[in-house]
Chains A and B, each alone.
Chain A
Amino acid sequence: MTDCVSFSSEILRINAKQEVARIIDRLRFIMKKKLKRRGIVVGLSGGIDSSVTCALAVEAFGPERVFGLHMPERDSSEETLFMSKMISNHLMIKSAHEDISGILEAVKFYKRYNDAVRSIIPEYGESWKSKIVTSDITENRGFTFFSVVAQAPDGKLIKKRLPLKIYLEILAATNFKQRTRKMLEYYYADLLHYAVAGTPNRLEYDQGFFVKQGDGAADIKPIAHLYKTQVYQLAEYLEVPEIIRKRPATTDTYSLSQGQDEFYFFLPYEQMDLCMYGKNIGIEPSLVAEATGLTTEQVDYIFRDIDRKRSTTRYLHMQPLLVGNVPEIHS
């Protein structure tokens, strides 16, 4: 039983050395007994999650059995490739640079996306940048909606709420990015007879912050059980370069810089971690509020939103469903 009085960010502190040892042990076991592949492919974004996943794979299998992929595209921030190459160099792994802009062009991603934004912001031009943001759950009390924020070359910002059709057009087009990257990861995995690592942390895995058959697809997810603050603790222990550890969490999906807390979680990860952990172990909202600096009412909404997202996320986690038994396969 957790001592409710001592509930604070310290409660998520783990013994990084022990946890790394445990993960390495599990990775080796899973690879040997279940996946039976020769190594691991990791898509590198230059962010903390993929860097830690890659570092863990190197610890488990050695740098010669880990292959990194750099997959920026036209909308990626300038530092993405610099950061992702920094981690592959730091870990001394082989890697490949596959700019996915050409593939996205071929599937008309940029056109589909720009047309969708233009249908609500007619002046949206080629040199404009944009992102999708969500409303504040604590203000709208669970009734969230999405808006597009577009920035003109002169810096002028326009924000418009998205009606259903345009929201779905933008979402469907944007998901090309994660699915294209996963397609390339599996290309290299087939080429090398490796498995593919997924890089979600616990918040993302639990709340469905991933694209089905996109970044949600993988053979193994080494950090899916860890809260984001714990991923940072492992990063420090694994000596992931400080510049990567200090980089703000970003989705790096839209042309205009977008924090994860603008699109999906509403809160910075430190607060979101504590809210989810508190809810998971049955801490009263008032105590979580005290530890996070939120109001009890806000924590109530966050708790309810966690449940709702879990419900929606079931579809994303679901394997293909059969309507008849195939006992030879599913015994």
Chain B
Amino acid sequence: MDNLRERIKGFVIDNFLFGDEEGLEDQTSFLDAGIVDSTGILELVDFLDDEFKIKISDEEILPENLDSINNIIRFLGKKLQS
């Protein structure tokens, strides 16, 4: 799980924050913090699809699944199990 967290966090820091993780906590809302916009959401979905070999459906593109590192971990946990 820690490895999962690191991979996701690494992507967010690298891709959206140019390597500067200041202000990013595991519970930080990407949208509220201005970390992702509508294009960023697509980048995030693409990354998760590719990195974890999953297919995120339209109905799953929701803040409770994708709007923070914690939410993604929770979502991925369920998704990878199923």
> Which residue of A has the minimal Cβ distance to B38?
A144
Kindly state the interface size class of chain A when it binds its partner: 10 to 19
Q: How far is the CA of A142 from the CA of B31 in the complex (A)?
A: 8
- Mask: chain A, 114-147; 1 = CB below 8 Å from B; 0 = not: 0000000000000000000001000011111110
Which chain A residues lie closer than 8 Å to B45 at the CB level?
145, 163-164
Contact yes or no, B42 A163, CB < 8 A: yes
Contact yes or no, A144 B58, CB < 8 A: no
Contact yes or no, A141 B63, CB < 8 A: yes
Identify which of B32, B46, B61 gathers the most chain A CB atoms within 10 Å of its CB: B61
Taking the closest CB of chain A, its distance from the CB of B16, in whole angstroms, is: 13
Taking the closest CB of chain B, its distance from the CB of A330, in whole angstroms, is: 26
Kindly state the interface size class of chain B when it binds its partner: 10 to 19
Which chain B residues lie closer than 8 Å to A143 at the CB level?
31, 41, 61-63, 66-67
User: Is B23 at the interface (CB under 8 A from chain A)?
Assistant: no
Contact yes or no, B34 A142, CB < 8 A: no
For chain B residues 37-53, which have a beta carbon within 8 Å of chain A?
Answer: 37-39, 41-43, 45-46, 49
Identify which of B39, B42, B45, B62 gathers the most chain A CB atoms within 10 Å of its CB: B42
- Mask: chain A, 151-169; 1 = CB below 8 Å from B; 0 = not: 0000000000111110110
> Which residue of B has the minimal Cβ distance to A315?
B37
Known: A143-B41, A144-B41. 6 other contacts (CB 8 A): A135-B58, A140-B61, A144-B38, A308-B34, A311-B34, A312-B38
